[in-house]
Amino acid sequence: MALRVVVVMGGPSEEHDVSCRSGQGVVEALARCQWIVESLLIPRAAGVDEALERARDGLTRARADVVFIALHGLFGEDGTIQQLCEELHLPYTGSDVLASRLGMDKVASKRRFEEAGLRVPRWRVIEGSRTEALRDLEGLAYPLVVKPARSGSSFGVSIVERADGMAAAIAQARRYGSTVLAEEFIAGRELTVGILGDTPLPVIEIRPRQGFFDFQAKYTQGATDYLVPAPIAEDIAASVQAAGLAAHRALGCRHLSRADLILDVRNTPMLLEVNTIPGFTPTSLLPKAAACLQLSYDELCERLALMACHETAIS
């Protein structure tokens, strides 16, 4: 008997459009795999309360066997939709409520990574006014990466070369949340490693053609080169995969995640963050890595849906 899945996409975050592309790809893939598929689009303009009401109504009506969460950013990756699925006793893809909250909060996740012994760039939380912010940064060397603590897709991220650029960078980051993080810029090769189940996928190297890997570089065709698998020695690749898996476990993730790292000049993996719901278009990075293992996009989507079906529904 065919299983029924609801793919939730869209949402009120700034990542609405990316989420719709991820969700539509999943809908088409699962339909090809003979699932009974329904899409649930959460409007962009909805606030959290309205989004929750829309999601609750849609999931209650659908009578799904499983929910495939293709929401990115706030509402999707911060534990909100996961909590709703648990209240409705619906199995769902991806990490549970706690791991989702930790992954979305860069401050909380960095603390978990450090407790697990993982290498991360030196960092500080920026508080208060510009003067107070500069005081908070004592001990950090420029250049610095300034970013909102709870956002994705590189929204609000700046690289600051000197102190006189901090005010503008902080203001930019605060457009996406009141808590702002500064971390030392690590020169090196930008890598990402996906986790499927409890298995690291091949490492990918990310090479933006201009600047750094910001929103435009991520989502503009031809703006970034992706080397799959990354052209690095086997032992270094293994150390990157080990760091990604350790980060996945430190947050308590399940089913999938994708860790972003910098391989510094000493070939040491420096962990930046973990995405608990990485992009899921057919050309996104986690599907690219899975393809290296002869796992097609359709097979990847179906495997994740089946992982969720095998989870015991929370009573």
**Which residues participate in catalysis according to the annotation?**
15, 153, 219, 258, 260, 273, 275, 279
287 HSE (CA, 13 A, CB side): 17
Tokens at 175, concatenated: 């457009």
List Cβ neighbours of 311 (8 Å cut-off, separation of 6 or more): 91, 254
Phi/psi-derived region of residue 156, left when phi > 0, alpha when psi is between -120 and 50, beta in every other case: left
Taking the mean position of all CA atoms in its chain, how far away is CA 179? 18
